[in-house]
Structure 1
Amino acid sequence: MLWHTSRFHIDLSRPRVMGIVNVTPDSFSDGGSHDDAAAACRHCDCLLAEGADILDIGGESTRPGARTPSTDDELGRVLPVLRHAVSLGVPVSVDTSR
């Protein structure tokens, strides 16, 4: 079975690993350790080196009580990391509620 996207044909005959990149200061899963673009880009590189097939980038925390960032803040967090991830030549998803 193949998953067809505009840029990739992903073979789903085996499990695929999605690496999560939370670019938020208040992430409950990583404690905000990748909340700036440079750290998040390094995390992308590490995830791929460790075997991730796909990168998922999020700029809005979903932890209970989290403040919703403005659209400009979310774009400012996500776009530099998205550009880096796309340059790596792997499938990328963006986790957003907008």
Structure 2
Amino acid sequence: MSYSYKCYSDTKDFMKKFVNAEEGAIIYGISKSRIIVIAREAGAVYKVGNSALINTELFEKYLERFREPARELPKHTWNKLKEMTNTPKTGENS
């Protein structure tokens, strides 16, 4: 039997609305116990019989609250990079 592994970006267009904790852990790259805690905080847990399902739409909306904006690298880092690429290398024979 062979297994088919797909990354999250390949399956995002046809993802399930509800997943269990194990599937959610694979999709989001978080441990099962941590995903349950976050899903409870988000109000995205639905108990169906003995199983708990996570609403991925509510879960992702909750995660977006913690998104950090992109930051530029400090200017001195860029200047050092330019200096390193523009300076001639020592010890080389021309």
- Determine which structure has the larger helix proportion and give its number: 2
Higher relative contact order (CA 8 A, sep 6+): 1
| TM-score (normalised: structure 2) | 0.23
Q: Is the radius of gyration larger for structure 1 or structure 2?
A: 2
| TM-score (normalised: structure 1) | 0.22
